[in-house]
Amino acid sequence: MTAQWVMYGIKNCDTIKKARRFLEAAGLEFAFHDYRASGLSDALLTQLIDQLGYQTLLNTRSTTWRKLPEADREAVTNSESAKALMLAHPGVIKRPVLRAPDGTLLVGFSEAAYQTFIQEKS
């Protein structure tokens, strides 16, 4: 099986929609993994945290984060507690996460960052 580009996120997220349109306009073939529809495995989340760090993945500006009880937010003190929260509430993961065929990751979306990342990894 050939390694491919994969975008992780949630289908109805506006940022995901922008990133998907950008990749489609650039003619880049990619798979989309929706955390809510396809699930989020412990193994996948562990890989993402190992590569990026939980601080990079945890979106403390998201609506999901803000709606959590204060005790849940304060309980996030390390990668294990962050992983447990992200598995329970995938909406707190920054989106999108784009995986290049070589396994490197880019979090978030900006046209400039995507253009550079795609050029470097293609």
**CATH number of the structural domain spanning residue 48:** 3.40.30.10
- State how far Cα 32 lies from the chain centre: 11
CB–CB of 22/113 below 8 Å?
A: no
Dihedral sign of CA atoms 87, 91, 95, 101 in order? positive
Structural domain count, the chain = 1
Give the domain range for residue 48: 5-121
Residue 113, classed as helix, strand or coil, is helix
Active-site residue 13, yes or no? yes
Q: Which of 13, 82, 93, 107 is catalytic?
A: 13
Q: What is the pTM of this model?
A: 0.92
At 10-66, the pLDDT tens digits run 999 999 999 999 999 999 999 999 998 999 999 999 999 999 999 999 999 999 999
At 63-113, the pLDDT tens digits run 999 999 999 999 999 999 999 999 999 999 999 999 999 999 999 999 999
CB–CB of 56/33 below 8 Å?
A: no
Cβ of 44: how many Cβ atoms within 10 Å? 16
